[in-house]
Each structure stands twice: as structure tokens, then as C-alpha cells.
Amino acid sequence: MFNVHYRLERRTTTLLIGIVVAGSIGGLVEIAPLFTIEGTVEAAPNMRLLTPLEVAGRDIYIREGCYLCHSQMIRTLQDEVDRYGHYSLAVESKYDHPMLWGSKRIGPDLARIGGKYSDEWHVRHLIDPRAVVPQSIMPRYAFLTQRDLKTAELGENLAALRAVGVPYTREMIDNASADAISQVAADSSAAAALLKRYGEATNVREFAGSTSRVTEMDALVAYLQMVGKQINIEDHAGANKKPPDND
């Protein structure tokens, strides 16, 4: 086999043709599926956008490397569906920049974590993982409760996402800072405006237990409570349907 390769290396034209053929096959495998993208990604006209607070939480999730241990993609294998919930749909990653599918599960998959546990559980788990999961090897993130969230730059974050296709409106961008603050204060007058912009399904409450300040813990918990909840999975796929045959 190596003798054949050595002979090819001595024939420049033949080697060049081989490189072009191999590159063309690889390019075709990556490009061809894009022509069927409309049939691959489900339509979700009512898909809810992440609020500025949840976007900030997602950024913290990425910053702290959570995606290195937790995937966000449930495959169609029956055992995964039984353990984690309905398999992930393509449309659920439509506005992810970057996507957080992940390739390792040192910790459990989080694609359906939204609403599974209470805010208090998440806060306690992030402060001291072994307090709720004794066998956990996850590091502590207690410092998030001490860090005030930088809300002034959230409008720029939304504008950047809009530039890559996420349909944030100018009104959402202009009110990003105020919306992040009002999401942890359900009784504030600004909370009504937040719900009008992002929908009645928006979680508005004291995620980390205080309305006097917005912390990074608030943002991360707000994000975790929305993972897998941007669409109604039963409306789009039928949560009780059998996963596609993998044979």
C-alpha cells in the first residue's frame, strides 16, 4: 500500500487530481445538505427568543466552560429519550451562536433542563454541587452570587446576534439593559414591557433570591430554566411519539 502512495507522490499530476477528487467529495458531503435545509429545520414561527438576561446567562455558561462537560443534544436513541426527554430538534439550535451541542457527557445532557428543577435547586447546586448530588465532580460556582451582572453591554450583545440572523428588534436592543433588570423584579412596572416584548411565557422572578441587584447567578439560572423551553416540543414533534428508527 505504501509503495502505491510513494509512486503517487512522484507523479505530481496524478497526486493533484487525487487531492481535487478527495476535496470535492468532502465538500459535497458538507454542502449538499444545505440545499435541503428548509426540509431539515422545522418551522417554529412562535419560537421565543432568549431575553437579555438569558443571553447573558448563556455567555456565562460558555465562559465557565459548562459545555465541555454537558452536551445539549439528545439523540434519537431510545435510552437517551428515556433518560433525558424528547430528542433534540434542529430548530431548537436555529438561533444558537455558537451551538452548544457538545460531544462529552462528564455531566448529564442539559437539552431539557429547563423547568426540571427549581431556581433554589440550581442556586444551591451551583454554589455547592455535592450538597445536592454527592457524587458530583462539578466545580463550585459560588462566586457568581457575588458578581453583579454587567447590564450596560447587553444591548450590544443583542445587536451582534441580530447581525448573524437572530430576529431581535430595535426596541429589544434599546431596552436590553432595563429588561435584564426587570426580569428579576416581577412587581416592577418595567416587567410588563418585558413580557410584551418576549411573551407571556417569559420567566420573571427572583432567580437567585434578591431583587436589589442582578447577579451573574441570576443570569445563569435564568438561562438554564429556558434551555429546551423556547418551543413547545409537543406542538412540533409530539413528545409521545416513538423516536425515528436508527437501524
Report d(CA 157, CA 60) in Å as an integer: 13
The pTM of the full predicted model, rounded to 2 decimals, is 0.82
Fold of 52-236: Cytochrome Bc1 Complex; Chain D, domain 2 (1.10.760)
Residue (of 171, 183, 153, 173) closest to 53 by Cα position: 183
Report d(CA 111, CA 30) in Å as an integer: 25
Residue (of 68, 79, 119, 110) closest to 92 by Cα position: 110
Our CA dihedral for 5, 9, 13, 14, rounded to 10 degrees, sits at: 0
Q: How many CB atoms lie within 10 A of CB 35?
A: 8
Listed by start position, the domains of the chain span 2-40, 52-236
Q: Is 148 helix (H, G, I), strand (E, B) or coil?
A: strand
Residue (of 133, 139, 122) closest to 218 by Cα position: 122
| pLDDT digit string (tens) for the chain, length 247 residues | 667 777 777 888 888 888 899 999 999 888 887 777 666 677 777 889 999 999 999 999 999 999 999 999 999 999 999 999 999 998 899 899 999 998 889 999 999 999 999 999 999 999 999 999 999 999 999 999 999 999 999 999 999 999 999 999 999 999 999 999 999 998 888 999 999 999 999 999 999 987 789 999 999 999 999 999 999 887 765 544 555 554 4
